[in-house]
């Protein structure tokens, strides 16, 4: 195979079809030869058939004085202009050209090959990403002038886009990933930062996880003021326990650090009063939807409803102190076995891990005032968060302690890693 032959040999069927055509009507496109060396630049299969069949009067075009680059470029441009190429074959030709002349601008390469400059740009960024060509700061345009390489353009940018375009990291990410939106580029940067925060060599000990029996009517004096990064809990839903939400808001206002969140999963039957009571001491911020695809089996008879989601209420102590955007929809994973067997109202560990990822960071101290069988505690340990939990039931406190202790033991055996969920964390 000649060094100027760009593609694999024809299949036997294709070769026979070409041979039949040449025998019937002759060679209609000249075979291009290097006059200095006799090498075939274009028309390898045509020449091979003519030589095999003893055909000598086929058209030949000889070119002289070409450099190696010029010969390769001629082969590429002739193939793109004449052959019915697949998209992948066109990409191959463009990538080979970029490897030969990365210093040429996308428009210059596009003009020489007869393709779109956007197509060239996409292939350039892919080769740069794979380090197969260098990242060029200045390129040579179609007139031979050296010009600074322009970032991906944004038509009529908004004020926010203009602000992001002044960030070199955003512009560099747009160029590297072939993005046209600085907002998307910033999201990708932030997603990587979030994933990086999930990787920590923090080792939790039993002292970092406290679980005790308590009635929140008493105000939880065991927990110090302004000591908690996030209070995350699944509170009782029934009307008999509505007054507990006032106690919960009061405790959150005391123990949370300024700007920290109170996250409460609750039911919908008494939602207006729940919201009102939590708002007595905390500032309402948003409601997330915790979707439960398997929840249709639950029927609220007095409301004639089969709910498929639960509200997760987001309150703040004082003023919101976060630059991390939060998606307001969470899809509960399939039941993980223990979620409703250890406690009649137990939740999924994986589901609470997702809540923790959205509102907390490794090393944070998490409080759950309705710890139940310890789901929040297990999720916290799995994600390297410290945990304080309490429950009014001594039996459930024992279960929660055992589950959290098992999670701590498991952490000692596994090295820290970026989980798939962390990589997909949404700002």
At residue 335, the pLDDT reads: 56
Q: What is the mean pLDDT of residues 194-209?
A: 78
Beta pairing class for 60-63 and 31-34:
parallel
At residue 341, the pLDDT reads: 55
Run of H or E residues at 408: helix 394-413
**Based on the domain organization, do 173 and 309 belong to the same domain?**
no
Q: Is residue 6 in some structural domain?
A: no
Q: Is residue 99 in some structural domain?
A: yes
User: Phi/psi at 311 (nearest 5 deg)?
Assistant: -75, 140
Q: Is residue 2 in some structural domain?
A: no
Q: Is residue 153 in some structural domain?
A: no
**Based on the domain organization, do 257 and 371 belong to the same domain?**
yes
At residue 352, the pLDDT reads: 93
Q: What pLDDT digit, counting tens, does each position of 175-195 carry?
A: 767 777 888 888 888 777 766
Residue 207 pLDDT greater than 80, yes or no: yes
Residue span of the structural domain in which 25 resides: 12-148
Query: Which one of 148, 181, 214 terminates a domain?
Result: 148
Q: What pLDDT digit, counting tens, does each position of 123-164 carry?
A: 888 888 888 998 888 888 888 888 876 655 566 778 888 788
**Based on the domain organization, do 103 and 233 belong to the same domain?**
no
Expressed in percent and rounded to 5, the helix, strand and coil fractions of the chain are 45, 15, 40
**Based on the domain organization, do 121 and 225 belong to the same domain?**
no
Residue 425 pLDDT greater than 50, yes or no: no
Q: What is the mean pLDDT of residues 232-260?
A: 95
Token pair of 110 as six digits: 């596009």
Domains of the chain: total: 3
At residue 186, the pLDDT reads: 85
At residue 404, the pLDDT reads: 94
**Based on the domain organization, do 225 and 243 belong to the same domain?**
yes
At residue 340, the pLDDT reads: 53
**Based on the domain organization, do 302 and 177 belong to the same domain?**
no
Residue 402 pLDDT greater than 50, yes or no: yes
| Between 275 and 9, residue with greater pLDDT | 275
Q: Is residue 61 in some structural domain?
A: yes
At residue 122, the pLDDT reads: 80
At residue 35, the pLDDT reads: 85
Q: Is residue 3 in some structural domain?
A: no
Dist. CA 234–CA 236, nearest whole Å: 7
């Amino acid at each position: 195979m000649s060094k100027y032959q760009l593609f694999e040999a024809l299949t036997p069927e294709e070769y026979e079809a070409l041979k039949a055509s040449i025998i019937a009507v002759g060679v209609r496109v000249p075979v291009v030869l290097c006059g200095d060396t006799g090498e075939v630049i274009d028309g390898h299969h045509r020449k091979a058939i003519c030589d095999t069949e003893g055909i000598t009067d086929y058209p030949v075009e000889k070119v002289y004085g070409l450099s190696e680059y010029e010969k390769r470029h001629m082969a590429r441009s002739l193939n793109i202009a004449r052959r019915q190429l697949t998209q992948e074959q066109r990409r191959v030709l463009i990538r080979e050209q970029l490897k030969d002349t990365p210093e040429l601008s996308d428009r210059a390469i596009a003009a020489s090959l007869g393709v779109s400059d956007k197509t060239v740009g996409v292939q350039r960024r892919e080769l740069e990403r794979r380090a197969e060509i260098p990242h060029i700061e200045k390129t040579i345009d179609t007139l031979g002038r050296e010009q600074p390489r322009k970032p991906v353009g944004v038509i009529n940018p908004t004020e926010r886009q203009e602000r992001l375009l002044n960030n070199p990291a955003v512009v560099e990410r747009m160029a590297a990933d072939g993005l046209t939106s600085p907002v998307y580029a910033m999201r990708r940067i932030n997603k990587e930062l979030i994933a990086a925060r999930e990787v920590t060599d923090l080792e939790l000990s039993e002292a970092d996880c406290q679980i005790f029996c308590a009635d929140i009517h008493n105000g939880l004096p065991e927990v110090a003021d302004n000591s908690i990064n996030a209070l995350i809990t699944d509170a009782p839903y029934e009307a008999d326990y509505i007054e507990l939400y006032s106690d919960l808001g009061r405790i959150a206002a005391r123990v949370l650090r300024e700007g920290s969140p109170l996250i409460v999963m609750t039911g919908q039957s008494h939602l207006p009063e729940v919201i009102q009571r939590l708002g007595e001491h905390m500032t309402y911020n948003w409601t997330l939807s915790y979707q439960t695809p398997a929840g249709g089996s639950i029927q609220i008879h007095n409301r004639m409803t089969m709910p498929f989601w639960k509200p997760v209420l987001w309150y703040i102590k004082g003023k919101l102190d976060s630059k991390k955007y939060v998606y307001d929809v969470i899809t509960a994973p399939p039941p993980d076995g223990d979620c409703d067997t250890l406690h009649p109202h137990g939740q999924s560990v994986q589901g609470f891990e997702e809540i923790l990822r959205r509102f907390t960071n490794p090393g944070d101290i998490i409080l759950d005032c309705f710890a139940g069988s310890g789901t929040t505690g297990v999720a916290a340990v799995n994600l390297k968060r410290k945990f304080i939990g309490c429950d009014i039931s001594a039996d459930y406190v024992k279960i929660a302690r055992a589950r959290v202790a098992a999670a701590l033991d498991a952490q000692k055996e596994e090295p820290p890693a970026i989980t798939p969920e962390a990589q997909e964390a949404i700002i």
